[in-house]
Amino acid sequence: MQKVKSQQSSHSFSSTTNNNILTIEYNNNEKQFLINNKNARFKNINNLTSVYCDMPNNLNYVTKDGTGYIVKPGNKSSEPLSHKNVLSIGGTHGALILTKDKLKVNENTEIDLPIIDSDDQFIQVLSSSLQTFYFLLTLNGKIFIYGENPDCVLGISNSHIKFNNFTLHPNLEHVSSKIIDLKCGYLFSILRCENGDCYGSGYNCYVNIGVDGRRSVDVKEFTLIEQLKGRVKQHDCGSFHTVYLTFDGEVYGCGLNTSGQFVNPPQILMSFTP
């Protein structure tokens, strides 16, 4: 694990694209986004509930009235999606649209959502550019999984298993506290808990999860990131790298750095010395 830099924490959303760290700060007083420190003003962004940046750097956001918006790179304004009751937007090109009862995967495919407790709600949909697997996260910290399991990305040790319906994850009893966030790389996933613990599963050939081990060996179930135990405030994944922000304002990176994803000279960050 490599320390990238130190900084004071702020109210912001951040996302890693394939080769860059994209930081978005929402200024509530001026009703504007600051994207990599550049002003980008958009209308209708009162009562913001979620922000997501996909691989081509589209900006996707959802407001409390259930309206979703997608802003393409270079645009100075946004237009609402036609879908109603939007809860979250995810996937490459903002293709995954989560509503109260459906997950819209593309123009022709919708997946029914599972029934959950009346006091719970789906808040996040995650996948990678492959879009052969999907995660759903609920407000109460439950994880539902769907689709294929390449490299054990779903946190299930059998990489050949396939889930044809959204299924409550069966192997999370060891997780230390409530799950509040989950991010996906190309073939790996990392969940974050309320107490600052993170757990990763899937492809780890570049130590991109942050779990030490032999290259070419997958992490087959969600495994604690020991070196940052209890410390992670926010995290995000690129295709083959991960960035962790700690509660004390330090930023750590691990994985592929061939394009300077961590600002440091291009390399594979396989050092586990903070």
Neighbours of 52 (CB within 10 A): 23
Q: Which of 58, 57, 61 is nearest to 43 (CA)?
A: 61
User: Residue 8 has what pLDDT?
Assistant: 36
Compute the C-alpha angle 167/212/4, nearest 5°.
100
Alpha-carbon Rg for the chain in angstroms: 18
CA distances from 260 to 17, 101, 264 (A): 12, 41, 6
Q: Is the pTM of this model over 0.85?
A: no
pLDDT at 269: 44
The pair phi, psi for residue 249, each rounded to 5°, is: 85, 10
Strands 48-53, 38-41: parallel, antiparallel or unpaired by DSSP? Answer: unpaired
Which CA distances in Å does 74 have to 13, 35, 57, 238? 19, 11, 10, 22
Of 168, 160, 162, give the one whose Cα is nearest residue 138: 168
What sign results for the dihedral spanned by CA atoms 218, 225, 23, 30?
Answer: positive
Asked if 44 and 69 count as a contact pair (C-beta separation under 8 A), the reply is: yes
Beta strand segments in 157-231, E: 162-168, 179-184, 188-193, 198-202, 219-224
Identify the residue whose tokens are 């959204």.
166
Return per-residue pLDDT of the chain as tens, 274 residues. 656 554 333 344 444 444 444 445 544 444 445 554 445 555 445 566 777 666 556 677 787 788 887 776 666 666 777 777 888 777 665 578 888 889 988 778 899 999 999 999 998 888 888 889 999 999 999 999 999 999 999 999 999 999 999 999 999 999 999 999 999 999 999 999 999 999 999 999 888 998 876 566 789 999 999 989 999 999 988 888 888 889 988 888 888 877 556 655 434 444 433 3
Q: What is the pLDDT of residue 265?
A: 44
Q: What is the Cα–Cα distance from 179 to 194, expressed in whole angstroms?
A: 6
Q: So what's the pLDDT on residue 264?
A: 53
Q: Closest by alpha carbon to 259, among 54, 57, 21, 37?
A: 21
Q: Residue 179 is encoded by which pair of tokens?
A: 């799950």
* Contact predicate 16/29, CB 8 Å: no
From the list 13, 16, 8, 6, the residue with the least C-alpha distance to 27 is 13
- pLDDT for residue 48: 67
The torsion angles phi and psi of 131, rounded to 5 degrees, stand at: 50, 45
DSSP at 31: T
Q: Looking at residue 107, what DSSP letter applies?
A: T
The Cα–Cα gap between 98 and 88 comes to 5
The β-bridge relationship of strands 68-71 and 198-202 is unpaired
Q: Which amino acid is at 128?
A: S
